[in-house]
């Protein structure tokens, strides 16, 4: 680290002789490989932009000049060259460096965008602001990957940038031919033709100047091109050709992009992830339902659709980083008689709310949305925590939302969602390993009872004839079958209408923590998994009348979440039972492990038990 240790700010980098830059690049790559392999993070993208980032900070004077990184997962080198190299070993660790640009970390991080295709719009606004403010000395640079150009927002920005030739702005196109996978669609083909010198640039046709292609690993050539772009005085694209993973053979040769993101060092997990369970079930579903098709926004692999695409290549569509197009294309597929399954990270569905609302739900189309990374995602931080989906989807008329508690339920609920023909449905699950299966011991409407409260358990055990009824299934405690409608008193197995105890409704994988919490308490607590969160089951609402307190537990935002939906449903039905909602605060939560964040926000077993204890006056 002889050279890197001298760099506390970009001015120190500019003071280095050009002859020292190859050795600096080697030091940076060495530190990236050693550190990211241990902490986890985006290794391949950062190895590919080492020389490009060096050149940027030698030509432009950050933060006086605004450098905006699209997506931001390739900004580790930028962090190192702006004085944070010594803290890289804390990357993505609780209290450490973010895996994306972070305004709280440094003035050099202008925006902390970690969703793709946004940098050009930020840059357009910054360039306008500097012009209006009389600051023509402040340059604006947007670093955009080729994959980000598959997103429609990028072209909306280019449409405006190209229309203002008097307003300078530098677009650095980092072209490595892929995002998570080879760049989808006609954009990828056009960039390939530019690399071959076989076509006129579409950017020039839109009114931007075009320089390149430039070797993105030749610092001297990059500096020449960037300095020229800065002096042209007009919006300019600098087309840089880079190799993802350069300097680390496993990453360079990684055609499947397994080293786009690497996990932290440690023994491999022996459990299946939620994504892999979904992946297996999608393949099985495809065999039995030839009308099922799959759509991904540039993430066939990360969302678990690659196996489906390999088995049914004519029924899988990667539309690029274009969530809005993915949803409305799904609407077209559904209108044409197919059943599309749209797989995106939970937080990315926010980008297509209008399309979900007006293009799918308005037409009551049978589209299934599979939301990976729902709830707390951990090390990716605030932009990736999937804590908004229930709040968003709760506004959509006719939308049904399910949350599986274990792998068995994921398989079952996916099939129930795809069988639903009356409108859209969504299935949400976290970024985590699937825990042990939790058996149901009864039903409350469509909800599975995971644990009866003491009074309920005593009464159900004293009824060997199985006279109580509540949906269908087997009571795991006694083995007798229950079926039919829930009694007016509300609680299966408890014909006495006298309110008693707590009904704890736990969303998805939090069912295990809820059962563990109930076991810690000395009051009657019935734990139920609602399975289908939205709309709230009227039979579950009726069941709530038999309890003194209802507590909901969810790993989503409190405002507009499942707890709010339950409260509204109880009020509408005239069921006057107090409701306490345990959920995530409506804040942007920092990165950290999923378990640590859930505990800090009161969503682990002990915290849930403590929350119920505090309500004891309502229970007794």
CB 499 within 8 A of CB 548: yes
How many Cα atoms occupy the beta-carbon half-sphere of 379 within 13 Å?
Answer: 18
The contacts of residue 399 (CB under 8 Å, 6+ apart) are 356, 361, 393, 423, 424, 425, 426, 534
Query: Which strands sit side by side in the sheet containing 525-529, from one edge to the other?
Result: 442-444, 447-451, 525-529, 502-506, 549-557, 579-584
What average pLDDT does the structure give for the chain?
A: 89
DSSP assignment letter at 178: B
CB 342 within 8 A of CB 295: yes
Q: What are phi and psi of 205, to 5 degrees?
A: -70, -25
CB 552 within 8 A of CB 579: yes
- Output the pLDDT for position 499: 56
Q: What is the mean pLDDT of residues 294-308?
A: 95
Residue 340 has pLDDT above 70, yes or no: yes
Going by the annotation, the residues of the binding site for Mg(2+) are 146, 176
Q: What is the 3-state secondary structure (H, E, C) of 241-259?
A: ECCCCCCCHHHHCCCCCCC
pLDDT band at 258 (very low <50, low <70, confident <90, very high): low
Of 347, 338, 344, residue with least CA distance to 389 = 347
CB 505 within 8 A of CB 403: no
CA angle (62, 64, 70) in 5-degree steps: 55
- Output the pLDDT for position 462: 32
CA dihedral for 298, 303, 309, 312, sign (positive or negative): negative
Q: How many CB atoms lie within 10 A of CB 123?
A: 27
CATH topology for 442-619?
Rossmann fold (3.40.50)
Q: What are phi and psi of 183, to 5 degrees?
A: -60, 125
Q: How many CB atoms lie within 10 A of CB 419?
A: 12
Residue 460 has pLDDT above 50, yes or no: no
- Output the pLDDT for position 244: 87
Supply 575's token pair: 């069921």
Going by the annotation, the residues of the binding site are 73, 114-116, 146-148, 176, 248, 323
Helix orientation angle between 21-39 and 50-59, rounded to the nearest 10 degrees: 120
Q: What percent of the chain has pLDDT over 90?
A: 77
**7 vs 541: CA distance, rounded Å:** 62
pTM: 0.87
How many Cα atoms occupy the beta-carbon half-sphere of 563 within 13 Å?
Answer: 21
464-471 contacts: CB < 8 A, separation 24 or more?
A: 467/495, 468/492, 468/493, 468/494, 468/495, 470/442, 470/443, 470/444, 470/445, 470/539, 470/543, 471/443, 471/444, 471/445, 471/446, 471/539
Got the DSSP string for 22-59?
HHHHHHHHHHHHHHHHHH-B-HHHHHTTHHHHHHHHHH
CB 437 within 8 A of CB 448: no
27-59 pLDDT tens trace: 999 999 999 999 988 999 999 999 999 999 999
- Output the pLDDT for position 449: 96
487-511 pLDDT tens trace: 333 344 443 434 579 999 999 999 9
The class that CATH gives domain 4-249 is alpha beta
CA 587 vs. chain centroid, Å, equals 16
The contacts of residue 168 (CB under 8 Å, 6+ apart) are 127, 136, 139, 140, 230, 232, 233, 234, 235, 236
Got the DSSP string for 472-493?
SEE-TTT--EE-SPPPTTSSTT
Which range has the worst mean pLDDT, 155-159, 197-201, 465-469, 575-579?
465-469
| Fold match, 4-249 / 274-428 | yes
Supply 533's token pair: 């969160």
- Catalytic machinery residues: 244, 323, 351
Of 534, 532, 507, 514, residue with least CA distance to 412 = 532
Q: What percent of the chain has pLDDT over 70?
A: 90
Please state the domain extents for the chain.
4-249, 274-428, 442-619
Going by the annotation, the residues of the binding site for thiamine diphosphate are 73, 114-116, 147-148, 176, 248, 323
- Output the pLDDT for position 432: 92
**123 vs 120: CA distance, rounded Å:** 5
Q: Classify residue 173 as exposed, middle or buried by CB count within 10 Å of its CB (0-12, 13-18, 19+).
A: buried
Residue 480 has pLDDT above 70, yes or no: no
Q: What is the mean pLDDT of residues 216-227?
A: 98
- Output the pLDDT for position 620: 75
Q: What is the mean pLDDT of residues 223-232?
A: 97
pLDDT band at 442 (very low <50, low <70, confident <90, very high): very high
Residue 256 has pLDDT above 90, yes or no: no
149-200 pLDDT tens trace: 999 999 999 999 999 999 999 999 999 876 556 777 899 899 999 988 888 8
- Output the pLDDT for position 127: 97
pLDDT band at 545 (very low <50, low <70, confident <90, very high): very high
Q: What is the mean pLDDT of residues 419-430?
A: 97
CATH topology for 274-428?
Rossmann fold (3.40.50)
């Amino acid at each position: 680290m002889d050279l890197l240790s001298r760099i506390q700010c970009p001015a120190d980098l500019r003071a280095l002789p050009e002859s020292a830059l190859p050795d600096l690049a080697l030091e940076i790559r060495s530190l990236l490989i050693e550190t990211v392999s241990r902490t986890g993070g985006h290794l391949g993208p950062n190895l590919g932009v080492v020389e490009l980032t060096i050149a940027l900070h030698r030509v432009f004077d950050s933060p006086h000049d605004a450098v905006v990184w699209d997506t931001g997962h390739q900004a580790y080198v930028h962090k190192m060259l702006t004085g944070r190299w010594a803290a890289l070993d804390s990357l993505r660790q609780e209290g450490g460096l973010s895996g994306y640009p972070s305004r709280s970390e440094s003035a050099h991080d202008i925006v902390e965008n970690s969703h793709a295709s946004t940098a050009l719009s930020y840059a357009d606004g910054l360039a306008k602001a500097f012009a209006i403010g009389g600051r023509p000395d402040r340059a604006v640079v947007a670093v955009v990957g080729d994959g980000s150009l598959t997103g429609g927002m990028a072209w909306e920005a280019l449409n405006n940038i190209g229309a203002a030739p008097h307003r300078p702005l530098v677009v650095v196109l980092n072209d490595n031919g892929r995002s998570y996978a080879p760049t989808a669609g006609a954009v990828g083909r056009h960039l390939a033709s530019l690399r071959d010198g076989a076509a006129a640039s579409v950017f020039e046709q839109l009114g931007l100047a075009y320089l390149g292609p430039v070797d993105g690993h030749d610092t001297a050539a990059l500096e020449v091109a960037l300095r020229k772009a800065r002096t042209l005085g007009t919006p300019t694209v600098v087309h840089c050709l880079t190799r993802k993973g350069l300097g680390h053979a496993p990453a360079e040769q990684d055609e499947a992009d397994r080293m786009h993101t690497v996990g932290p060092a440690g023994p491999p997990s022996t459990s299946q992830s939620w994504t892999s369970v979904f992946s297996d079930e999608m393949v099985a579903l495809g065999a039995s339902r030839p009308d099922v098709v799959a759509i991904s926004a540039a993430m066939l692999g990360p969302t678990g659709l690659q196996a489906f695409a390999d088995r049914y290549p004519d029924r899988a569509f990667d539309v690029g980083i274009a969530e809005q197009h993915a949803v409305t294309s799904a609407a077209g597929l559904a209108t044409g008689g197919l059943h599309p399954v749209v797989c995106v990270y939970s937080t990315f569905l926010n980008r297509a709310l209008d399309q979900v609302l007006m293009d799918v739900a308005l037409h009551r189309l049978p589209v299934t949305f599979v939301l990976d990374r729902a709830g707390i995602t951990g090390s990716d931080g605030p932009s990736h925590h999937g804590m908004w989906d229930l709040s968003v989807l709760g506004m959509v008329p006719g939308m049904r939302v399910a949350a599986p508690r274990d792998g068995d339920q994921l398989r079952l609920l996916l099939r129930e969602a795809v069988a639903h023909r009356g409108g859209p449905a969504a299935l949400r699950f976290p970024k985590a390993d699937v825990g042990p299966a939790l058996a149901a011991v009864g039903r409350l409407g469509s909800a599975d009872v995971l644990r009866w409260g003491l009074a309920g358990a005593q009464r159900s055990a004293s009824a060997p004839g199985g006279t109580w009824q509540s949906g269908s299934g087997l009571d795991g405690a006694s083995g007798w079958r229950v079926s039919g409608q829930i009694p007016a008193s509300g609680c299966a197995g408890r014909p006495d209408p006298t309110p008693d105890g707590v009904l704890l409704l736990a969303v998805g994988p939090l069912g295990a923590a809820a059962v563990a919490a109930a076991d810690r308490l000395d009051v009657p607590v019935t734990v139920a998994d609602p399975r289908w969160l939205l709309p709230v089951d009227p039979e579950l609402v009726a069941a709530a009348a038999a309890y003194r307190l209802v507590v909901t537990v969810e790993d989503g935002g409190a405002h507009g979440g499942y707890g709010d939906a339950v409260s509204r449903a109880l009020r509408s039905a005239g069921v006057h039972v107090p409701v306490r909602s345990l959920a995530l605060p409506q804040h942007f939560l920092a990165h950290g492990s999923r378990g640590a964040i859930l505990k800090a926000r009161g969503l682990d077993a002990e915290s849930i038990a403590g929350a119920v204890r505090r309500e004891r006056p309502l229970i007794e």
